[in-house]
Amino acid sequence: MADQHAHESIPEFNEWMSESLQNHLAEELHTEVREVAEIQHAIHALAGKENRRIRLIKQHMMTCGECLSAQIKSGTLIDVETYWKMREQSGGGRYPKLHYMVN
């Protein structure tokens, strides 16, 4: 039971390691391995928060008139007509590209 708990606390850097090497490191460097696991957990949690914030910012920028105007003026956003032309040329539209290729 103690081995299983020690094995669960081994961080993600162990993908290429054998199980015996993982266990050896967990026994010899218990504190360091635990700290790495805690750091990786915190990084994972922060990455999730970052992704949610970025998604909210992108959603706002796609619906806010002021943001859309600023993007069009700066050239970072194309107008709708150009977008639809590009989409049709690449096989987008009502049917998937495969449908156009078959018919």
Q: CA–CA separation, 26 vs 10, rounded Å? A: 7
33's tokens: 């391995």
79's tokens: 């107008």
Helix and strand totals (H; E) in the chain: 6, 0
pLDDT, tens digit (0-9, with 9 covering 90-100), for 7-65: 455 566 666 778 888 888 889 988 998 898 899 899 999 999 999 999 999 999 989 99
CB atoms within 10 A of CB 33: 20
Task: Identify the band that residue 83 occupies on the pLDDT scale cut at 50, 70 and 90.
Answer: confident
Mean pLDDT over 66-88 rounds to 83
53's tokens: 């914030």
pTM over 0.75: no
28-34: list long-range contacts, CB under 8 Å, 24+ apart: 30/6, 33/9, 34/9
